[in-house]
């Protein structure tokens, strides 16, 4: 029986295809998939607010590293007198396809008395992201705990705590 060019081509194609298939990685789903940008509100106490709480608007962003359970996050809190910029790196704990709690650490920078203090300080950020099924909407919520956040005044050296929540658009 003679081997034809067509038979040689089919055999070579089968060998190359099998080799390439053995090199591929299995596909894995990503819980709470995707990065987002969103807006919301924050509540916290400033150095000048002795007994009351201060309300601020928040712009939040998350960049999810797809290969690892790590995200780069940032929040900007703005009220009438101050702007606070808080970048963090978080470790994410995907529980379901929609629910992803996390804990992050970073630094808060502020230009005045804000809901995360009135000086640059270390921040711990526990939180949770919930992706609304069949949509690109993410509900986020977290706390920013700024260590040694106040310089002078009635709260000198104390910790500032603020709570944020809002809606994000996942991309």
Is residue 5 situated within a structural domain?
Answer: no
SS3 118: coil
Q: Which residue in 102, 104, 136, 105 sits closest to 33, CA to CA? A: 136
Q: Give the separation between CA 109 and CA 32, rounded to whole angstroms.
A: 28
Domain count, the chain: 1
- DSSP state letter for 50: S
Is residue 2 situated within a structural domain?
Answer: no
61 vs 47, higher pLDDT: 61
Q: Give the separation between CA 33 and CA 136, rounded to whole angstroms.
A: 10
Q: Which residue in 130, 78, 134 sits closest to 102, CA to CA? A: 130
Is residue 97 situated within a structural domain?
Answer: yes
The model's pTM? 0.77
What's the pLDDT score for residue 84? Answer: 96
**Boundaries of domain holding 128:** 36-170
Average pLDDT, whole number, for the chain? 85
Give tens-digit pLDDT for 79-92: 988 999 999 999 99
Is residue 73 situated within a structural domain?
Answer: yes
- Contact at 8 Å (CB) between 124 and 106? no
Is residue 7 situated within a structural domain?
Answer: no
CA neighbours closer than 13 Å in the CB half-sphere of residue 105: 2
- Can you give the CATH number for the domain in which 158 is found? 2.40.160.20
């Amino acid at each position: 029986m003679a081997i034809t060019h067509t038979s040689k081509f089919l055999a070579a194609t089968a060998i190359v295809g099998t080799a390439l298939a053995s090199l591929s990685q299995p596909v894995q789903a990503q819980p709470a998939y995707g990065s987002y940008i969103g807006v919301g509100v924050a509540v916290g106490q400033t150095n000048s607010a002795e007994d009351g709480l201060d309300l601020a608007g928040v712009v939040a962003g998350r960049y999810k590293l797809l290969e690892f359970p790590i995200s780069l996050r940032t929040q900007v809190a703005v009220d009438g007198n101050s702007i606070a910029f808080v970048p963090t790196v978080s470790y994410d704990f995907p529980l379901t396809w929609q629910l992803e709690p996390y804990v992050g650490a970073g630094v808060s920078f502020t230009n005045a008395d804000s809901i995360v203090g009135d000086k640059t300080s270390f921040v711990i950020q526990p939180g949770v992201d919930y992706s609304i099924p069949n949509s690109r909407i993410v509900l986020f919520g977290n706390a920013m705990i700024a260590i040694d956040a106040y310089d002078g005044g009635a709260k000198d050296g104390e910790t500032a705590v603020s709570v944020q929540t809002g809606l994000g658009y996942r991309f």
